[in-house]
Structures are given as structure tokens and as C-alpha cells.
Amino acid sequence: MKWNKKYDYPKSSRATVDGIRRYLLGEKKLPSVTSILDATKSEEDKAALANWRERTGQKEAEAITKAASSRGSQMHNYLESFLLGRENLSFFDDNEQYKKMAIEIIDKGLTNRLEEIWGTECTLYYPEKYAGTADCVGVYEGKETIIDFKQSNKPKKIEYIESWLLQTAAYSLAHNIVYNSHIDACVILVCTIDNLFQEFKIKGSELITYQNLFLGRLKKFHELSNLN
């Protein structure tokens, strides 16, 4: 894999405004993609989360969520360091879980697949509408691609990761609008705490469907915002 700084991705900061996480880009305060998706969850999804918390117990559920968030952040930091060529190879001897998970993604998802890196932790925005941070943008298996890294407590089925697919689709749409690029694929590389690697991919007409689904959620977000 090689670096190609093809695009000049903007710097941004983040703030929570009226309970919504927003990206501060110049004078603009754009809602984040994840905030839009959280605010427009279906009643079924909200009920499923509430039921899980009730079954698990609020205290235990909070502990699981906090541990997953911490592990995910560490794994992302390690992968970013790897892509930037800054990783300490001695880390490969360490036994920490997030490093093992990152290495699974590197070995099975990135090596010999990610051909060109345009950026990591890239701030992407659709003017006047939304913004977010893509883990990696580049050429993956010959296609201009948004690449996202996820950790999970257990294996996923594609029907359970709609929010992840919508998230990457939103990033691809924003990138194509702002940079006149031709991103035609999104790839989500997942590793579970048991070191099971999974890859999920959407491309072509399927990606367009998810882009349109996200725009529907964006419309719903604005409708809800106007009611409050």
C-alpha cells in the first residue's frame, strides 16, 4: 500500500450543541452522521436496546458499553498508526486484546487489498447538511473506497449492521459531492473480541440505495429537529 495525498481534507473540531454532536467547520456547525443515525433510530431498534439493557442490568450494560468504546478507540489508534507508518513493531509481541484485533484487520483486511491511502481519520462533509470522520479513504481492491474499522463483542450478520452501512454510505456521498470523486464502494472490516475477522462490502447500485436511505434519515432528522 502506498500513500497518495490526492485530496486536502479539512481540519475540524467537535462540540455538542442542544444534545447533538456537531462538526465545527468554519462558521458552520454540521450535525454528525452518527448523531443523525442515533436520533432517527426506529422504535424497534430503540426497544431492542432498552430490552438488552434491562436483561443485562443497567450497571453491567454501562460497563460493557464503556469497555467496548475504550477497546474500539485503542484499536482505531493502532490501525491509524499502522497506516501512517508509525507503529512500533515491538507492539506485536504484546498480548493486549485491541492489538490482536488490529493485527487481524491488518493481516486479513488490509494487506494486499488496500492499494492506495488517500487519508486516515478524514473529516468529510456534505455542504450545509452533515459531517463525519472516515477511518480511511483510498483504493481498495481496485476501487475508490471508504474503509471503516469496527470492533464487536460477537460476530455480526449484515442485517444487524445497517447503521454501519448507512454511515459509510453517507461518507461516500459527501466525498463524491465535495471532491467530484468516484467512490463506488464501502468496506467495513470487523474483528470480534475472539479475534474473528469479518468483511462487509457494499458497492455500485447497492451503495446508491444506502446513500438514498441515509438521505431519508437526514430528512427525518430535520423534521424531528423542527418539532423540538
CATH code at position 101: 3.90.320
- Judging by beta carbons within 10 Å of its beta carbon (0-12, 13-18, 19+), is residue 78 exposed, middle or buried? buried
Residue 83: φ, ψ to 5°? -65, -30
For residues 221 and 225, give the distance between their C-alpha atoms in angstroms, rounded to a whole number. Answer: 6
pLDDT in tens, 140-196: 999 999 999 999 989 999 989 999 999 999 999 999 999 999 999 999 999 999 999
**113-141 burial string, b = 16+ CB within 10 Å, else e?**
bbebbbbbbbbbbbeebbbbbbbbbbbbe
**Grid coordinates belonging to 178:** 465535495
Q: In which domain, by residue range, is 94 found?
A: 2-227
In the chain, pLDDT over 70 holds for what percent of residues?
90
Model confidence at 102, pLDDT cuts 50, 70, 90, reads: very high
Look at the chain and report how many structural domains it folds into.
1
CB 81 within 8 A of CB 99: no
Q: Which residue has the higher pLDDT, 95 or 28?
A: 28
Q: Which residues contact 126 (CB under 8 A, 6 or more apart)?
A: 30, 170, 173, 174, 177, 178
pTM of the predicted protein model: 0.91
Residue 5 has pLDDT above 60, yes or no: yes
CB 146 within 8 A of CB 187: yes
Q: Find the range with the poorest average confidence among 82-86, 95-99, 203-207, 209-213.
A: 95-99
The Cβ-side half-sphere exposure at 118, using a 13 Å CA radius, reads 21
